[in-house]
Structure 1
Amino acid sequence: MSPTQQGELDPVIHAAARLKITATLATLPVGDRITFPRLQELLDMTPGNLSTHLRKLEDAEYVLVDKEHQGRTPVTYIALTKAGRRAFEDYTDALRQLLGGTA
């Protein structure tokens, strides 16, 4: 995916649900991750809706979805990638520019 022009809003992040996901993941320290159920709970989204939006973010390489097992129980972890964190920072900078602030 090519980077957006300066001042242009990233269409991958711009969708309301994906913006909420990205903003929530951006609050985690670099390298941290969150379980799928916890993210679902924080965002009050259905599993299907969350999965659909995570897939778009994953396709853009903005999030990493890691499926592991704890014993016999599958656990899905979600993390913001370095590219995703950068894209979110660029998005917020572009938004500030559009609103008349400084970038």
Structure 2
Amino acid sequence: MKEILKDLNKAFENKVRLGIMSALVVNDYLDFNTLKELLDVTDGNLASHLKSLEKSKYISFKKEFLDRKPNTKYAATDEGKDAFVKHIKAIEQLLK
């Protein structure tokens, strides 16, 4: 049991962060507004969770302009994908 628990990652304990990573792992990238609508969260709430995942180097971002409007795209890093898959596998093991 202890072996399984060590693979649970605190970064993904929050449902918003879990949702962000779930969405980014299955998509090449998503922009801020798409994530906000998908997760049904406020700008500030999403921004704080994105910053936390950025600090952990689990996601990366790219800023650009579309029709003179700023647009930020987010993607899961390889490190983030690996950590997330490990976390999900630990949860699956706990459920068995």
TM range (shorter): 0.7 to 0.9
Give structure 1 regions of 4+ aligned residues with deviation exceeding 4 angstroms. Answer: none
RMSD, matched Cα:
1.5
Q: CA deviation at 1:6?
A: 4.8
Equivalent of 1:45, from 41, 45, 59?
41
CA spacing shift, 1:55–1:90, aligned 2, 3 Å: same
The equivalent residue for 1:10 is 9
Alignment pair present for 1:96 and 2:92: yes
Q: Residues of 2 paired with 1:81 and 1:6: CA distance?
A: 25
Contiguous gaps of at least 5 residues in structure 2: none
Q: Residues of 2 paired with 1:43 and 1:50: CA distance?
A: 9
The equivalences for 1:1-103 within 5 A come to: 6-7=3-4, 8=6, 9-28=8-27, 32-100=28-96
Q: Identify, as 1 or 2, the structure richer in helix.
A: 2
CA spacing shift, 1:6–1:64, aligned 2, 3 Å: farther
CA spacing shift, 1:93–1:69, aligned 2, 3 Å: same
The residue identity in structure 1 corresponding to 2:25 is: A
Q: CA deviation at 1:72?
A: 2.4
How many percent of aligned residue pairs carry the same amino acid? 38
Contact map agreement 1:6 1:94 (CA 8 A) in 2: no
Contiguous gaps of at least 5 residues in structure 1: none
Q: CA deviation at 1:71?
A: 4.7
